[in-house]
């Protein structure tokens, strides 16, 4: 094994280093499963997102390793779990992601709004959208025909029933006209949330969580009429199961989602002070608006030595979770074209293309793992080399922006390539040590597969050791020493 966990520091090491390292070891030795705990509080459940971690995980780390007002960074923020927890705990959150939905989602989750005002606006939207369908149908049909270039149009046509398209267009037309940017973003997110659900939401897709989406073979409209696959209906049997789906009303789903999200909205200061004044609740910490931006974790626009804690979880290797595969189902409605999204997909860490990619030199153990995969599959090995090169750049950036004496906590899952465990936690720890980090502890947590959208199901062909690994994640503690 190419890493050694930092146990003892040289006698002349700063006392500060020792105390902080001991705290990290103690913390990362604790239970991080949180399976029986509620993860849906505040705005955490505004929208589904693959491989998000339970909010209790960043909560515990932020609470133990930072103070009020400290800067907490997640350079691959995803659905913004770290950012929201930092916000709720009165820390200054800083977040980046290259994914458009991650940006919209995180921004909305930490924006306080007046729920009565939002509710009024939304009521108007749904009424106007319904009216547009009943009174301006032919105009909407024309708009639908010219809204996208042919590739995006074909995508929408394949994945959405015509009446659903009409209702979604009527809704998004109204949402785009909302003058208040923050309410508009809140509504766009609810709109997206009713399309991207595990069961494919309003689309014709059957599963948008685990696998490549499949279109339902038999589809019933809201009135119970078969609009796709009516000829197949009698052909189901115990042996032949057809993917069958019943469509819901986009208007009802949108209203329901808005109501649900309104309950989790961060309260405005005036609303939060009231229960405190009446003695009902403890005062909450002062909240600092976070800084949320589009950005690449491999080149962060952040000053050197300015961050107090990093809590993040990077993508898996080899596109094991393909974020764009599900996200494009709503992003096409929010103004993105399929070709542009395809280009963006190539930029994600863990992507599969290695053409023109500039590789980094990798340390000993990591190189052995890559060499081992090369014997099995050269192409896969290049993808893994790309992944560890990208992870080298992100770790280098994390080291640069962290204050000395502070930590980056990274949650990673391993990947299996050609039947071999890529030992991600060992390789990342080794890469981190080469950069200058100390690694005092690698914790383990067991995944709750019912809750988290994770890479595709079971692999019956893999031995039980590897099966077990696929159900675990590692929590690596990286420490930037003071001296």
Ligand X SMILES: C[S@@+](CC[C@H](N)C(=O)[O-])C[C@H]1O[C@@H](n2cnc3c(N)ncnc32)[C@H](O)[C@@H]1O
Q: For 440, which DSSP code?
A: E
Smallest separation, CB 465 to ligand X (Å): 24
Q: For 442, which DSSP code?
A: E
Please identify, using beta-carbon distances, which residue of 52 and 386 lies nearer to ligand X: 52
- Give the Cα separation of 77 and 75 in Å (integer): 6
Smallest separation, CB 96 to ligand X (Å): 5
β-pairing verdict for 438-446 and 472-480: antiparallel
Smallest separation, CB 162 to ligand X (Å): 32
Please identify, using beta-carbon distances, which residue of 75 and 432 lies nearer to ligand X: 75
Contact set with ligand X (CB under 6 A): 49, 51-53, 75-76, 78-79, 81, 96-99, 102, 296-298, 313-315, 323, 348-349
Judge contact between 56 and 445, C-beta under 8 A. Answer: no
Please identify, using beta-carbon distances, which residue of 32 and 220 lies nearer to ligand X: 32
Please identify, using beta-carbon distances, which residue of 217 and 386 lies nearer to ligand X: 386
- Give the Cα separation of 97 and 76 in Å (integer): 5
With 0-12 / 13-18 / 19 or more C-beta atoms within 10 angstroms meaning exposed / middle / buried, residue 279 is: exposed
Smallest separation, CB 365 to ligand X (Å): 24
Please identify, using beta-carbon distances, which residue of 96 and 437 lies nearer to ligand X: 96
Smallest separation, CB 76 to ligand X (Å): 3
Distance, C-alpha 295 to centroid of its chain: 15
Please identify, using beta-carbon distances, which residue of 189 and 219 lies nearer to ligand X: 189
Which contiguous run of DSSP H or E holds residue 71? strand 71-74
Judge contact between 254 and 201, C-beta under 8 A. Answer: no
- Give the Cα separation of 58 and 91 in Å (integer): 12
Smallest separation, CB 202 to ligand X (Å): 23
Smallest separation, CB 383 to ligand X (Å): 14
- Give the Cα separation of 213 and 371 in Å (integer): 33
Smallest separation, CB 100 to ligand X (Å): 9
Q: Give backbone dihedrals phi and psi of 480, rounded to 5 degrees, phi first.
A: -95, 110
Q: For 296, which DSSP code?
A: -
Smallest separation, CB 215 to ligand X (Å): 25
Smallest separation, CB 47 to ligand X (Å): 10
- Give the Cα separation of 379 and 227 in Å (integer): 43
Q: Which residue is nearest to ligand X (CB)?
A: 78
- Give the Cα separation of 432 and 286 in Å (integer): 34
CB atoms within 10 A of CB 135: 9
Nearest residue to 481 via CA among 4, 15, 136, 1:
15
Smallest separation, CB 99 to ligand X (Å): 3
Which contiguous run of DSSP H or E holds residue 408? strand 402-412
- Give the Cα separation of 79 and 326 in Å (integer): 14
Please identify, using beta-carbon distances, which residue of 164 and 313 lies nearer to ligand X: 313
Per DSSP, which regions of 177-303 are E strands? 218-220, 226-228, 244-246, 291-294
Please identify, using beta-carbon distances, which residue of 80 and 201 lies nearer to ligand X: 80
From residue 85, give the alpha-carbon distance in Å to each of 37, 285, 392. 15, 12, 27
Please identify, using beta-carbon distances, which residue of 148 and 316 lies nearer to ligand X: 316
With 0-12 / 13-18 / 19 or more C-beta atoms within 10 angstroms meaning exposed / middle / buried, residue 68 is: exposed
Please identify, using beta-carbon distances, which residue of 191 and 348 lies nearer to ligand X: 348
What would you report as the CA-atom Rg of the chain, rounded to the nearest whole angstrom?
A: 24
Please identify, using beta-carbon distances, which residue of 72 and 166 lies nearer to ligand X: 72
Smallest separation, CB 268 to ligand X (Å): 25
Q: Give backbone dihedrals phi and psi of 443, rounded to 5 degrees, phi first.
A: -85, 165
Please identify, using beta-carbon distances, which residue of 47 and 188 lies nearer to ligand X: 47
């Amino acid at each position: 094994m190419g890493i050694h966990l930092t146990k003892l520091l040289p006698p002349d090491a700063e006392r500060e280093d020792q105390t902080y390292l001991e705290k990290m070891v103690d913390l990362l030795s604790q239970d991080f499963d949180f399976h029986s705990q509620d993860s849906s509080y505040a705005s955490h459940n505004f929208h589904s997102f693959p491989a998000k971690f339970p909010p209790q995980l960043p909560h515990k780390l932020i609470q133990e390793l930072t103070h009020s007002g400290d800067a907490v960074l997640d350079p691959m923020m995803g659905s913004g779990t770290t950012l929201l927890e930092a916000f709720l705990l009165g820390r200054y959150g800083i977040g980046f992601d290259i994914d458009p939905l991650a940006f919209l989602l995180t921004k909305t989750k930490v924006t306080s709004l007046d729920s009565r005002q939002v509710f009024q606006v939304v009521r108007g939207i749904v009424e106007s959208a319904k009216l547009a369908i009943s009174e301006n149908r032919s105009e909407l049909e024309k708009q639908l025909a010219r809204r996208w270039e042919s590739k995006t149009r074909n995508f929408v046509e394949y994945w959405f029933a015509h009446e659903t398209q009409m209702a979604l267009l009527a809704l998004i037309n109204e949402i785009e006209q909302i003058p208040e940017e923050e309410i508009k973003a809140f509504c766009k997110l609810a709109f997206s949330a009713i399309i991207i659900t595990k069961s494919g939401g309003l689309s014709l897709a059957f599963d948008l969580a685990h696998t490549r989406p499949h279109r339902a073979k038999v589809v019933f409209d809201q009135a119970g009429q078969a609009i796709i696959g009516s000829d197949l209906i009698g052909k189901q049997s115990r042996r032949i199961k057809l993917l069958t789906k019943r469509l819901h009303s986009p208007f009802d789903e949108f209203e329901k989602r808005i109501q649900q999200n309104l309950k989790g909205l961060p309260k405005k200061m005036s609303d939060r002070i009231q229960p405190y004044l009446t003695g009902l609740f403890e005062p909450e910490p002062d909240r600092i608006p976070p800084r949320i931006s589009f950005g690449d974790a491999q080149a962060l626009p952040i000053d050197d030595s300015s961050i107090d804690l990093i809590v993040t979880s990077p993508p898996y290797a080899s596109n094991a979770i393909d974020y764009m595969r599900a996200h494009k189902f709503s992003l096409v409605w929010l103004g993105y074209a399929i070709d542009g999204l395809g280009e963006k997909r190539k930029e994600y860490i863990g992507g599969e293309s290695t053409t023109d990619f500039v590789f980094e030199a990798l340390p000993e153990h990591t190189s052995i793992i890559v060499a081992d995969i090369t014997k099995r599959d050269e192409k896969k090995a290049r993808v893994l080399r790309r992944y560890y090169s990208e992870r080298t750049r992100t770790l280098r950036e994390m080291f640069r922006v962290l204050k000395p004496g502070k930590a980056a906590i990274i949650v990673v899952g391993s990947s299996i390539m050609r039947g071999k465990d890529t030992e991600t936690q060992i390789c990342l720890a080794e890469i981190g040590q080469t950069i200058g980090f100390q690694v005092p502890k690698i914790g383990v947590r067991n995944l709750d597969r019912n809750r988290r959208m994770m890479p595709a199901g079971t692999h019956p062909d893999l031995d039980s050791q590897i099966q077990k690994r696929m159900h675990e994640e590692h929590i690596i503690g990286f420490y930037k020493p003071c001296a």
